[in-house]
Amino acid sequence: MGAKITAVTFDLWDTIIDDESDEPKRTQQGLRSKLDERHHLVLEALNQHEPISSSDLAIGYSVVNAAFVKCWKGNSITWTAKERLSVLLSGLGRSLPEVELDALAHAQERLELDVPPNPIDGAKEAVAELASRYKLCVISDTIITSGTGLREWLEMHDMKQFFSGFAFSDEVGNSKPNRAMFDSAASQLGTEFSQMVHIGDRDHNDIKGPQALGMKGVLFTAKRDMDKDTTSADAICHRHADLPTIIDALA
């Protein structure tokens, strides 16, 4: 018989947060898309010192974003918004005073907080019910919004209170499926891998990663289901309403 399950960990993007659900809100409010707004913020900052064309900036951003993905997928490291901007500026042969670079990074990090994406239907109810029986922790990669910002998003939607720990890639120093992310969660919860279940939408990061450490994995498919036919998950969950029953069955 396996170890008793005492802890549940959650991915955020497309597991609790409905990724890109903020874009229609931005359109309705007459705002630029997040991509266009990031570019606009950089153009505005650089043009205060020396002109740069939007086409040159777009090329620079394309290269930096490709390098980011290579680093993220190949080395399990996610650059912070400031680090990504620093690489961009270096490639363009440009620089900004530190205080302006900090302000620019902060403005980019705030985009998903000033116009926040929605929680996936039923997420809060499922998290609240599971918190009554298990210790909970977030294990999430950070792409633009920082771990601090994602805590704010959870608090904004009245969910932060249910989590006893947070492992964010910008704070841990590695991203999933690197063991450091799961080590951080286990340490914060005071539990062993064999007592943990992780829930997420990507088979490589959220299922294969934790399973290699002795955890169980639940593939969540409400928003992203492309891995459902090839996953090694211990269970597949299609909607949050079913999640407590699935976790209880695994436990």
Helix axes 98-109, 34-47, angle to 10 degrees: 170
Strands of the 7-10 sheet, one edge to the other:
165-168, 135-140, 7-10, 196-200, 216-220, 235-237
> Residue 8 has which token pair?
């549940």
| Distance separating alpha carbons of residues 209 and 51, to the nearest angstrom | 45
- Is the pTM value of this prediction over 0.85? yes
| Distance separating alpha carbons of residues 187 and 165, to the nearest angstrom | 9
ω into residue 24 within 30 of 0, thus cis?
A: no
List domains and CATH numbers for the chain: 7-20+118-250 (3.40.50.1000), 22-114 (no CATH)
Q: What is the DSSP string of 53-121?
A: -HHHHHHHHHHHHHHHHHHHHHH-----HHHHHHHHHHHHT----HHHHHHHHHHHHTHHHHSPPPBPT
pLDDT of residue 31: 98
* Nearest residue to 49 via CA among 100, 105, 109: 100
Are the CB atoms for 137 and 200 separated by under 8 Å? Answer: no
What residues in the chain have per-residue pLDDT under 50? 1
Q: Which residues contact 186 (CB under 8 A, 6 or more apart)?
A: 7, 192, 193, 196
pLDDT of residue 3: 77
pLDDT of residue 162: 98
Q: What is the dihedral of CA 170, 186, 219, 142, to 10 degrees?
A: -10
pLDDT in tens, 4-42: 999 999 999 999 999 999 999 999 999 999 999 999 999
Q: Which residues contact 84 (CB under 8 A, 6 or more apart)?
A: 64, 68
| Distance separating alpha carbons of residues 9 and 137, to the nearest angstrom | 5
Which one-letter DSSP state was computed for residue 208? I
pLDDT of residue 2: 61
pLDDT of residue 191: 97
Are the CB atoms for 13 and 19 separated by under 8 Å? Answer: yes
> Residue 119 has which token pair?
């929680």
Partners of residue 216 on adjacent β-strands: 197
